[in-house]
Amino acid sequence: MPRASVGVIFAARAQFRTLALSHSYSVMSDTLAAANIGEDPGSPGAVGEGKQAWEARAVAPALAKHPERREAFASTSGVPVDRLYTPEDVASLDYARDLGYPGEYPFTRGIQPTMYRGRFWTMRQYAGFGTAEETNTRFKLLLEAGQTGLSTAFDLPTQMGYDSDASMAAGEVGRVGVAIDSLADMRTLLDGIPLDKVSTSMTINATAAILLAFYIAVADERGIPRNKISGTIQNDILKEYIARGTYVYPVEPSLRLITDIFAFCDAEVPRWNTISISGYHIREAGATAAQEIAFTFADGLEYVRRALAAGLDVNRFAPRLSFFFASHNDLFEEVAKFRAARRLWARLMRERFGAGDDAAKLRFHTQTGGVTLQAQQPLNNVVRVTVQALAAVLGGTQSLHTNGYDEALSLPTAQAATLALRTQQVLAHESGAADTVDPLAGSYFVESLTTAVEEKAREYLEKIEEMGGAAEAIAFMQEEIHRAAYEHQLAVERGDKGVVGVNRFQAAEEEPVELAQPDFTALEASQKAQLAEVRRTRDAAAVQARLDAIRTAARGTDNLMPHIVDAVKAMATLGEISDALREVWGTYRPA
């Protein structure tokens, strides 16, 4: 047979097979559609009828043989989790109104059009312990390992406005973060770090203005223009009153200081994120996912109103607002939380303040849940952190810190910190999770959960607004967090909430974990000696003049930031500047 004829016959046979298979699949599809979702596949009612038939036909016999693990399932926010989700659960969802496209209002699917296809999230590992020199060494280790941004933890005296030689600082110097007393310490902390190339986040609140001034002073000394440095100060004092406790001054002057920072940075340091409105610490205190969003946004709305009252333009300062969330173990609720948060914040900013799109974008950093780390079987924490980091990536975070597996026991070792960073790098380069934008969009479950979390958060916000806003609702939010934390702990103790290694799969004996702790006694003595040398060699009269200028500005309406920058350049210490403000404003005392 001629070759051409053979080819024609083979082609004909292939076409026949294609037509036959196409017809079979069509018949099969029609049969399945009729059996499962009724005659009209586009009708939610038909889907509901199909689901009911499935439950009678398949679920009931299965339950008779093997009951489900619990009578009812729910997320941490109390959202009931159904056995199965179908199109009926998202029937009211309008794509343009509720989802939209990435980079466009309401930003449910992400704040950038291409998200991680263009650039991965910033891998910003939290570091800070002991002295500025030790922390600088850890910074450089992390940068060499591929980290793309710095995140700094400060010790409690620094956070509370005390120098290392103050009586209140005894026994706490360098223990939960780095001790920074003066510009000399900040020079050491940032030695060899290219401030015009690496962004730096600083977890600091009551004394944020002073730490920012130290950072600016170092940049000025190096000749780096202020408009070239970038980073973030947490500067979220309301959540300190609500959940964390490192407050210094009363509420009103603290909020005045925050708006001074907003105005100063808008004019002088335009690439600096002037506040990181933090749900993280609210969640760590025991809040649910929905409470985390609601209470964070209540604080955010309060800051926006204060900035507007100070005469700032929402479309100028709001794009520099950033947020900070936790990521916990409930994978799908966490993804839904991040998506709901973006949509809710965009809607609030547009509805209440007429903000433009750029001012309505929710930009946020995520840290995996410190409170979820367990001292028992600490290597299990590697898995917890991976799940939490995946949730943050699937939820569209802008930057991410992953906790070290040993942080329930101590400051993270270099090995644990490097492994935590490698976890992010594997997710970025090997998992495929970053290859498409908002990969869980369209999931009946995730979309339904996103809407439910948003609705619960709105309910809380409405209650807080009725009370007069976040500044007036501190006690209410504290009570809600305490209740949620108590209920969670009871669930763990009853065994209703499983925690591997704690109330499930315990080990009779555990291998000890090697922990490297600094000699804190020697560290504190060294820090005090360095501080004494700063005081000995500076111009005392110049320092006193700068502190007097700060007191005068605090009594009046001048922006405090230029005076604080002048003071740190004259080598005034953090404790001295804080004391000057205490003299004028007093201190906060909980009711």
Question: What's the mean pLDDT in 399-411?
Answer: 92
Q: Which has more pLDDT, 190 or 145? A: 190
Q: How high does pLDDT run on average in the chain?
A: 91
> Where do the structural domains in the chain lie, given as residue ranges?
119-494, 520-585
Q: Which has more pLDDT, 457 or 27? A: 457
Give residue for tokens 């948003």: 454
Please report the pLDDT score of residue 42 as a whole number: 52
Distance of alpha carbon 173 from alpha carbon 180, whole angstroms: 10
Which pLDDT band holds residue 289 (cuts at 50, 70, 90)?
Answer: very high
User: Is the distance from CB of 321 to CB of 335 less than 8 angstroms?
Assistant: no
Which pLDDT tens digit goes with each residue over 196-237?
Answer: 999 999 999 999 999 999 999 999 999 999 999 999 999 999
Question: What's the mean pLDDT in 344-351?
Answer: 98
Who's near 534: CB < 8 A, 6+ residues apart?
181, 182, 184, 571, 573
Please report the pLDDT score of residue 128 as a whole number: 82
Is residue 10 predicted with pLDDT exceeding 60? no
Nearest to 417 by CA among 166, 139, 65, 171: 139
Residue 562, preceding bond cis, omega within 30 degrees? Answer: no
Domain 119-494 listed as CATH 3.20.20.240: yes
Share of the chain above pLDDT 90, in %: 85
Is residue 238 predicted with pLDDT exceeding 90? yes
Share of the chain above pLDDT 70, in %: 92
Is residue 191 predicted with pLDDT exceeding 90? yes
Question: What's the mean pLDDT in 535-550?
Answer: 98
Give the pairing of strands 399-401 and 200-203: unpaired
Interhelix angle 574-585/208-222, rounded to 10 degrees, is 140
Please report the pLDDT score of residue 2 as a whole number: 39
Report residue 406 as tokens.
Answer: 């040993």
Which pLDDT tens digit goes with each residue over 24-68?
Answer: 334 333 333 333 323 344 565 678 889 999 999 999 999 999 999
Is residue 458 predicted with pLDDT exceeding 80? yes
CB atoms within 10 A of CB 140: 14
Instruction: Please provide residue 579's backbone torsions phi and psi, each rounded to the nearest 5 degrees.
Output: -65, -40
Burial code of 403-425, b = ≥16 C-beta within 10 A, e = fewer? bbbbbbbebbbeebbbbbbebbe
Which one-letter amino acid corresponds to residue 550?
A: I
Which pLDDT tens digit goes with each residue over 373-392?
Answer: 999 999 999 999 999 999 99
Question: What's the mean pLDDT in 1-22?
Answer: 38
Q: What is the 3-state secondary structure (H, E, C) of 344-410?
A: HHHHHHHHHHCCCHHHHCCCEEEEECHHHCCCCCCCHHHHHHHHHHHHHHHCCCCEEECCCCCCCCC
Is residue 21 predicted with pLDDT exceeding 60? no
Which pLDDT tens digit goes with each residue over 102-154?
Answer: 999 999 999 999 999 999 999 987 788 789 999 999 899 889 988 888 989 99
Distance of alpha carbon 70 from alpha carbon 279, whole angstroms: 30
CA triplet 398, 153, 362: central angle to 5 degrees? 25
